[in-house]
Amino acid sequence: MKYKQAVAFMVQAFVQANLSHAKRRKTGAILIREVLDGRHELLGNGYNGTKPGACNKCEDEEGVTLDYDTVIHAERNALDKVDENLLVGSTLFVTRFPCSPCTGLLRKAKVKNVYYCETSQDPLKLGDLTGLNVVCIPKKDVLEYISLTTYNLTKEKFT
């Protein structure tokens, strides 16, 4: 995959993150797979939040994020939308490095590549992605891509 494509998918993950009702840590994810001719197919997307129909409250009164069973993480949200057979060898773009429970889900689903942009402030909560292809996309590259897209949108015709 070309780096520019990877950055574009990361931008899409940040768009998903913006849909979250979380106040402290909005996180978004995009799952894709490469199809035979080298193009990419969007499999699923997600952001952190509560179960459908539940109150979209991700933090308690003190601002502490609720437990893993209450708040569905972006990775899990995206994975749950996809047939498990399509996940084998897929690629995840997630705005924040996955936590331990989410890395377990990624391994079980046989996701091959993980692209992330930010890390958790608590290194003990980071998952172990040993054996997977892991790439960090710097936030400056994401911002540059968004800036260029915004500039092109201001023109009469998008170029």
Q: How many CB atoms lie within 10 A of CB 145?
A: 16
Token pair recorded at residue 129: 């992605």
Q: Which two tokens stand for residue 139?
A: 């936030």
| pTM greater than 0.85 (yes/no) | yes
Q: pLDDT tens track of the chain, all 159 residues? A: 899 999 999 999 999 999 998 888 899 999 999 987 889 999 999 999 988 777 888 888 887 888 888 889 999 999 999 999 999 999 999 999 998 899 999 999 999 999 999 987 666 677 888 899 999 999 999 999 999 999 988 888 877
Interatomic CA distance for residues 128 and 145, integer angstroms: 29
